[in-house]
Amino acid sequence: MIKNILIFVLIVLLAWTSKDKFSIQLPVDIPTYIECSKKIPRDTSSINPVQNHFITDKIEKEEDKAYKTISLDMLLKQNKFYDALSYYLNHTTKNNEKKIENYLALLSKRNPLLSIEYMHIYLDEVPESLIKNLLITTYISQNNYPKAIELIIAYKENYVSQTEDKRLSSQLKKTALQYIDRLMDKKEYIQLIQFLEEMITHDSEDSFYRFKLAQLYMTLDKTSEASSLLDDLQYDEIYAQKAKNYIEKIDLTKKNNYEYIIPLTKHGDHYLIDTVLDGISFRLILDTGATYIYLDSDKASSLEVLNKNLKLQTAGEDVHAELRRVSIMQVGNLELNNMEVTTAPFKRDGIDGLLGMNFLKQFEFFINQEEATLYLKSK
């Protein structure tokens, strides 16, 4: 009896002294997905096999429980985007993809610059994601139009469908217009001209950017630059009438600045101008390609001779000519003195020669072909 009591006391004492070895504090709060995926090895070699079995089993159960509590929702809620992306790449589902995209959409409103950084990283891993559209709109919201336009053009080059290409084209034009308005408001005209020229190069078939550049040149009173663009646009299906209106405005401006208005006569592809040289009437072809006034030698025989031995180069051959002087030259209400002219045989019905550049170069001139009128202003 005493022996049994002693054995029982001994067992109780042994159990009481061993309790600390079985009281193990297990880690349950694992901070990130990446950390929880790496199990930390435990050294249980000093524990007897029976105790080791219970300890190892409990550790594994607690780790499995912690592992299962990690979710994409939790990582995104904690703003651990890189861990969330790592989780998503190992659990790629449509539902998880939607969660990532919703997170980035909300972040783009709270912290646009950070969301742009995250979206670029996400697109590196998932290049086909529709998040690229959010990236464009986020750049636009930050007034970073050049970057938005660059992305739109890049996405257009990777043609997906006719519908998507049409949508991107519309977005490109809308964004470009916003950028144009912004540069105009800030009076950054050099940058705007450069941008429009780049867009014309990018899409030479779209008249939109040529017309905008012509408008800008008109605003800057650079009518000669505007005219070269408007001349082509007056035949454009969309901008023809607007281009013609601007051309008329340029013409009107020019008219108001000119001193002399000389009527012309249409003759085939040419325009004729009436002149009086030392009292003799001549009808001449207005020719900006001729260096000198060129007269029929028979009709100009009474003019003073300066040089009898000239050679004129023509399209066909060299022509023997004479250099003569006109004391008084009258063109409309304009009168000039001591004009030099060349004379040689010139036989055309009703035409007595050419009015060349030694007359025209003395003026700023403008030929209105529709009105058949020559406008002159003294230099």
Read off the pLDDT of residues 18-33 as tens digits, 9 standing for 90 and up. 544 433 333 333 345 4
Write the pLDDT tens digit of every residue in 92-145.
999 999 999 999 999 999 999 999 999 999 999 999 898 999 999 999 999 999
Q: How far is CA 329 from the centre of its chain?
A: 54
> What architecture is domain 188-257?
Alpha Horseshoe (1.25)
pLDDT at 319: 84
Place of tokens 């007034």: 143
Query: How many residues are listed for the chain in this entry?
Result: 379
Greater model confidence, 35 or 357: 357
Percent of the chain with pLDDT over 90: 60
| 142 Cβ contact list (under 8 Å, min separation 6) | 112, 113, 116
pLDDT at 5: 58
Write the pLDDT tens digit of every residue in 138-192.
999 999 999 999 999 999 888 778 898 899 999 999 999 999 999 999 999 999 9
- Domain 188-257 identical in fold to domain 260-378: no
Over 70: is that where the pLDDT of 55 sits? no
Instruction: Give me the chain's average pLDDT, please.
Output: 84
Write the pLDDT tens digit of every residue in 272-321.
999 999 999 999 999 998 989 999 999 999 999 999 988 887 666 788 89
Residue 338: in which H helix or E strand, if any? strand 334-344
Neighbours of 206 (CB within 10 A): 15
CA distance 346 to 356: 15
pLDDT at 69: 59
**Out of 36-40, 147-151, 216-220, 331-335, which region has the weakest mean confidence (pLDDT)?**
36-40
Residue 369's SS3 state is: coil
Residue 310's SS3 state is: strand
Over 90: is that where the pLDDT of 9 sits? no
CA distance 168 to 154: 10
CA distance 194 to 47: 78
CA distance 275 to 278: 10
51's tokens: 């105790």
CA distance 282 to 275: 5
pLDDT at 251: 77
- Please state the domain extents for the chain: 188-257, 260-378
State whether CATH 2.40.70.10 applies to domain 260-378: yes
Which residues lie across from 314 on neighbouring strands?
Answer: none
pLDDT at 4: 59
pLDDT at 334: 94
Place of tokens 């890189």: 82
Pairing state of beta strands 318-331 and 280-286?
unpaired
Greater model confidence, 351 or 311: 351
Report, as an integer, the average pLDDT of 314-335.
88
